[in-house]
Amino acid sequence: MISIEHAKQMATRLRASLAAREQPLAHAAALELVAQQLGYKDWNTASALLPRQAASTAVTFDKPIPILRSFDEAKAREFYLGFLGFTVEFEHRFEADLPLYLGISRDGLQLHVSEHHGDASPGSTVFIPMHNIERLRDELHAKRYGYGRPEIVQQGWGQVLEVYDPFGNRLRFCQS
């Protein structure tokens, strides 16, 4: 399907082709001609009805959401919500007494935390590119969390701040 951007490119090519033949054409007039060639009354109608972007047939991916294994809901909430400052996006249980699957987020970072056996391996590492790493460190230190006060380490690829959750998972925040 032709998009608005594709139609604009067609108008630009039409103008260039006519200009090469010394038949100048205003851009607005080229847009009107392209709209008519595509079966629309005028450019305003075409631009209102054409999609903004062409449909892609290429394989594309959205950003991944890591799943981290947990074993204790209270400890997971204390660490991820209290200490790291995430908010709950959703909670799911198949039944009231079954394991928790928790979706959390903070400033564009999404994580899933699961008590379900087999969803993830304890001891996983998530590499998290970020900005303002010193501010995050200062925020975490100010919370006086009893199980960790992470420090920034300079590596060849940038600054790294590693935080371990109560289940052995490592969140590796990195600023290049």
Q: Which domains does the chain have, with CATH numbers?
A: 4-49 (no CATH), 67-175 (3.10.180.10)
Q: Between residues 62 and 32, which one has the greater pLDDT?
A: 32
For the stretch 2-33, pLDDT in tens is 888 888 888 898 898 888 888 888 989 989 99
In the structure, what pLDDT confidence band is assigned to residue 81 with cuts at 50, 70 and 90? very high
Cross-sheet strand order for the sheet of 152-155 = 125-129, 170-175, 158-164, 152-155
Q: What is the mean pLDDT of residues 48-61?
A: 76
Give the pLDDT confidence score for residue 54 in this predicted structure.
62
Spatial distance between the Cα atoms of 133 and 51, rounded to a whole number of angstroms: 40
Query: Does the pLDDT of residue 55 top 70, yes or no?
Result: no
Give the pLDDT confidence score for residue 75 in this predicted structure.
96
Lowest pLDDT segment from 44-53, 84-93, 107-116: 44-53
Query: Does the pLDDT of residue 61 top 90, yes or no?
Result: no
Give the pLDDT confidence score for residue 56 in this predicted structure.
64
Lowest pLDDT segment from 21-25, 85-89, 131-135: 21-25
Place of tokens 């400052």: 85
Query: Which of 73, 93, 109 lies closest to 101 in space, CA to CA?
Result: 93
Give the pLDDT confidence score for residue 73 in this predicted structure.
95
